[in-house]
A and B are shown apart, each in its own frame.
Chain A
Amino acid sequence: MTNNAAGVQQPESFEFSSENLEWAKQQLKKYPEGREASCTIPFLWRVQEQHDGWLPEAAIRYVGDMLDVPYIRVMEVATFYTMFALKPVGKYFVQLCGTTPCMLRGSEELKKVCADVIGVQNTVTSDGVFSWLEVECLGACCNAPMVQVNQDYYEDLTPDNFRQLLADLKAGKEVKVGSQTGREGSCPAGGVTSLTDKGLYDGKGGQG
Chain B
Amino acid sequence: MPKLNIDGTEIDVEDGITLIQACEEAGVEIPRFCYHERLSVAGNCRMCLVEVVGAPKLVASCAMGVSDLRPGPEGQPPEIKTLSPKVKKAREGTMEFLLINHPLDCPICDQGGECDLQDQAVAFGGKLSRFDENKRAVEDRNIGPLIKTIMTRCISCTRCVRFMTEIAGFDELGQTGRGEGAEITTYLDTAILSEMSGNVIDLCPVGALTSRPFAFTARSWEMKKTETIDVMDANGANIRIESRGNEVLRIMPREHDAVNEEWISDKSRFVWDGLRSQRLDRPYIRDEGVLREASWKEAFSTIATKVNSVSPVRIAAIAGDLCGVEEMFALKELLTALGTPNMDCRQDGSLLDPALGRESYVFNSTIEAIDDTDLLLIVGSNPRLEAPVINARIYQNWLNGDMPIYLVGQDADLLYDYESLGDGPEQLVEILNGKSPLSKALEKAKRPMILLGQAAFARDDGKDILALAGRVAQEKGFVRTGDNWNGFNILHTAAARVGGFDIGFVPGEGGVRTNSILNAAEKGEMEVVFLLGADEINVNKLSTTFVVYQGSHGEIGAQMADVILPGAAYTEKSATYVNTEGRVQMTSKATFPPGEAREDWKIIRELSEYLGKPLSFNTIEQLHQSLYKTAPHLASLNSIDVEQGGEMFKNFTMKELQLRSEPFGISIVDFYLSNPIARASAIMAEMSALKQERDRGAA
Interface residues of A (CB under 8 A from B): 1-3, 57, 70-73, 75-76, 79-80
- Any chain A CB within 8 A of the CB of B181? yes
Q: How far is the CB of A106 from chain B (nearest CB, A)?
A: 26
- Any chain A CB within 8 A of the CB of B171? yes
Given A1-B181, A3-B181, A57-B188, A73 contacting B171 (CB threshold 8 A): yes
Question: 16 pairs across A/B with beta carbons < 8 Å?
Answer: A1-B177, A2-B181, A3-B177, A70-B172, A70-B174, A72-B171, A72-B172, A72-B174, A73-B171, A75-B174, A75-B176, A75-B187, A76-B176, A79-B177, A79-B178, A80-B177
Q: Which of A1, A71, A76 contacts B175 (CB 8 A)?
A: A76
User: Which B169-197 residues have a C-beta within 8 angstroms of A?
Assistant: 171-178, 181, 185-188
Which residues does chain A contribute within 8 Å of B181, judged by CB atoms? 1-3, 79
Range, interface on chain B? 10 to 19
Which residues does chain A contribute within 8 Å of B174, judged by CB atoms? 70, 72-73, 75-76
Q: How far is the CB of A37 from chain B (nearest CB, A)?
A: 11
Which residues does chain B contribute within 8 Å of A57, judged by CB atoms? 188
- A-B contacts counted at CB < 8 A amount to 34
Which residues does chain B contribute within 8 Å of A72, judged by CB atoms? 171-174, 176, 185-187
Q: Are B187's CB and A71's CB within 8 A?
A: yes
Q: 6 additional contacts, CB 8 Å, given A70-B171, A73-B171, A79-B181?
A: A1-B181, A70-B174, A70-B187, A72-B174, A72-B187, A73-B174
Which residues does chain A contribute within 8 Å of B185, judged by CB atoms? 72
Which residues does chain A contribute within 8 Å of B187, judged by CB atoms? 70-72, 75
Which residues does chain A contribute within 8 Å of B173, judged by CB atoms? 72
Interface residues of B (CB under 8 A from A): 171-178, 181, 185-188
Bound-state CA distance A57–B188 (Å) is 9
* Most-contacted residue by chain B among A57, A71, A72, A73 (CB, 10 A): A72
Bound-state CA distance A169–B178 (Å) is 32
Q: How far is the CB of A57 from chain B (nearest CB, A)?
A: 7
Which residues does chain A contribute within 8 Å of B171, judged by CB atoms? 70, 72-73
Q: How far is the CB of B403 from chain A (nearest CB, A)?
A: 15
Q: Are A80's CB and B172's CB within 8 A?
A: no
Q: How far is the CB of B338 from chain A (nearest CB, A)?
A: 59
Q: How far is the CB of A78 from chain B (nearest CB, A)?
A: 8
Bound-state CA distance A73–B171 (Å) is 8
Bound-state CA distance A70–B671 (Å) is 24
Bound-state CA distance A76–B185 (Å) is 10
Bound-state CA distance A70–B171 (Å) is 6
Q: How far is the CB of A63 from chain B (nearest CB, A)?
A: 13
B171's nearest neighbour on chain A, judged by CB, is A70
Which residues does chain B contribute within 8 Å of A71, judged by CB atoms? 187
Which residues does chain B contribute within 8 Å of A73, judged by CB atoms? 171, 174
Bound-state CA distance A107–B175 (Å) is 32
Q: How far is the CB of A121 from chain B (nearest CB, A)?
A: 15
Which residues does chain B contribute within 8 Å of A79, judged by CB atoms? 176-178, 181
Bound-state CA distance A73–B181 (Å) is 17
